[in-house]
Amino acid sequence: MNTSPSPLPIVFSAFFALSVGGFVVPEGAWAKNYEDKKAGFTETFPINDCNFLTSGNNPYFKLVENRVLHYDNMQCFADGECDEFEELWITVKPEFEMLSFQYRGEMVDVTARVVEEFETADGEEVETSRNFFAECEGTQDVIYLGEDVTLADGSHPGQWRAGEDEALPGIIFPGGAFLLGARYFQELAPNAEALDRAEHVEMGLEITVPAGTFENCVKINETTPLDKHELSEKWYCHGVGLVKDNDLALREIVEP
């Protein structure tokens, strides 16, 4: 399927403000934290100001009920560069989770959307995770509130929920303009060893995958302070969402 999404939006979210000396800086609660940690990753966000929605229109991370994205590493596998044929299905479920946590001195109650990720290798189940997201109305900032993880052996590594065991929410994808160099934590659950973080590294890309050729794409590098050698490269396209995750490429979009 080929698409030609509209240009990048010029509306800025609550995270971002004006350009100072040619350098774009955030505003509000995020700004002070960003200025204090220019070489680091933002870990506090204006979550107290959010009116949370279980469905959303962030063009890079669409919370549309029953939408399914199907990925595989066929090209890598066919080229002999991968040992296993891997597949991934990401489904926005018609299901919800209630989460409560204290954030910057206030209690926050959120009804979050469940997004399931089901992963296989050579046809065998590897992992199922149920991720909890909500979108801030108006800004389109997508907040990450936790995940339940189950591996094929029945273990649950890295699972966490905001409000439990000192875990706090992060950002999975900001709304508004995509700012190169922006760095932020996606997960803030050190006791669960879940500390994924993102850095915006490229924009204005055209990406071709089995599902089609897409424009206005961006690249995000994900790392964790728990392992300095771990790197996940992800590409998102405007109007589509995630199109590549390392060797996994989008093969099919099932719209509800």
pLDDT digits (tens, 9 = 90+) for 90-141: 999 999 999 999 999 999 999 999 999 999 999 999 999 999 999 999 899 9
Beta-strand relationship, 124-136 and 52-53 = antiparallel
Q: Are 87 and 120 in contact (CB under 8 A)?
A: yes
Q: Which residues pair with 90 in a beta bridge?
A: 69, 117
The predicted model gives 195-215 an average pLDDT of: 97
User: ∠ CA 17-22-28 to the nearest 5 degrees?
Assistant: 20
Q: What is the pLDDT of residue 40?
A: 87
The predicted model gives 206-215 an average pLDDT of: 98
The predicted model gives 237-247 an average pLDDT of: 97
Q: Residue 214: CB partners within 8 Å, gap ≥ 6?
A: 2, 3, 5, 206, 207, 208, 237, 238, 239, 240, 243
Average pLDDT, the chain: 87
Quickly count: other Cβ atoms within 10 Å of residue 22's Cβ. 5
pLDDT digits (tens, 9 = 90+) for 7-65: 333 333 444 432 222 223 334 333 444 344 444 899 999 999 999 999 998 999 999 99
pLDDT digits (tens, 9 = 90+) for 124-138: 999 999 999 999 998
* pTM for this prediction: 0.84
The pLDDT > 70 percentage for the chain reads 85
User: What's the rounded Cα separation, in Å, for the pair 238 and 168?
Assistant: 28
Residue 172 to residues 81, 123, 145: CA-CA distances in angstroms?
A: 29, 28, 9
Q: Are 141 and 175 in contact (CB under 8 A)?
A: yes
Amino acid type, 198 = A
